[in-house]
Amino acid sequence: MGRWTVLLLMVAGCAGSGSGGVAQHDNAARLRVAAAAEASGQTDVALSMLASAAAAAPGDAVVQSHQAAALLRAGEAGRAEDILTRALRRNPDARPLLEGLGRVRLQAGAAQEAIALFDRVLSRDPNSASALSGRGIGLDLIGQHTDALVSHQAALARMPDDVGIANNLAVSLMLAARFEEAEGILASLIRKGGVPPRVTLNLAMVRVVRGDRAGAETLVERHIVAERLLPWSEALKAP
């Protein structure tokens, strides 16, 4: 029996006890299993655990947002949107749900709708780093890079150790043709280690843009530079 099967049975076996405290503990266990499963590439297990947690707590905005985020990462944007829309009927001002739906809208390219959702969060919580970062991405999508940079920088000021927020700022700097600054941020992230592949790819791309193809090839394979990064770099350099 695989370890994920054992974990599934452990969590399922303690469900339905009838005690609110125990039920809350069960959901915390489901979320932990889901996070571990997804990190290990066990997407089906993660989605199963999150679906179970969401069904057990339909009014819990955080749990619902976790399920939607996992579905979005798995490429099931439609299901993620359905969950968030339904949950927002119960909790129309819930920050995790508004931010989650904003991310769905970003992935769909609906930048203005995403910005409006993040603005709703920021009207109540102007220090929300995730909303500020999401708003910055939306502004970048519509070409408002100066305003986007303000939003990204505000997000990073509030969460200076967040790799995703720093990466988003670097991408925004690249879109604003501030390549040296972008490279500095990305190189700093790489030196810390343990960064997601997109950070390495972005650093390689900015090096290509700056004419350092050899430096890019120390980060990614040569064919990736030739087939993907060179065309992207030309687009970034275009006025």
CA-based radius of gyration for the chain: 20
Residue 228 has pLDDT above 90, yes or no: no
Note whether 239 and 202 are same-domain residues. Answer: yes
What pLDDT was estimated at residue 176? Answer: 93
pLDDT of residue 232: 81
172 shares a domain with 184: no
Contact 103, 72 (CB under 8 A): yes
CA gap 55, 29 in Å, rounded: 14
Residues 159 and 191 both lie in one domain: no
Percent of the chain with pLDDT over 90: 59
The overall average pLDDT reported for the chain is 85
DSSP string, 188-202: HHHHH----HHHHHH
* Confidence tier at 25 by pLDDT (50, 70, 90): low
Return the SS3 of 222.
helix
Average pLDDT over residues 19-34: 62
DSSP sequence for 6-48: HHHHHHHHT-----HHHHHHHHHHHHHHHHHHHHTT-HHHHHH
Is 199 contained in some domain?
Answer: yes
Residue 3 lies in a domain: no
**Structural domain that includes position 127:** 103-176
Instruction: Assign 234 a pLDDT band (cuts: 50, 70, 90).
Output: confident
Question: How much is the pLDDT for 37?
Answer: 74
| Phi-psi map region of 193: left, alpha, beta (phi>0 left; psi -120 to 50 alpha) | left
pLDDT of residue 60: 84
Q: Mean pLDDT, to the nearest integer, of 130-151?
A: 95
pLDDT in tens, 80-98: 999 999 999 999 999 999 9
Selected residue with higher pLDDT from 212 and 33? 212
What pLDDT, on the 0 to 100 scale, is given for residue 6?
A: 37
3-class DSSP state for residue 67? Answer: helix
Q: What percent of the chain has pLDDT over 70?
A: 88
Flag whether pLDDT at 239 surpasses 70: no
Q: Quote the number of domains for the chain.
A: 2
- Of 176, 206, 221, which residue sits at a domain end? 176
Structure pTM? 0.78
The residue from 150, 176, 202 where one domain ends is 176
Domain match, 170 and 187 both: no
- The CATH number of the domain holding residue 147 is 1.25.40.10
Q: What is the predicted pLDDT for the residue at 158?
A: 97
Residue 181: band (very low, low, confident or very high) from pLDDT cuts 50, 70, 90 = very high
CA separation for the pair 201, 182 (Å, rounded): 13
Q: How far is CA 103 from CA 3, 25, 50, 76, 229, in A?
A: 32, 28, 18, 13, 25
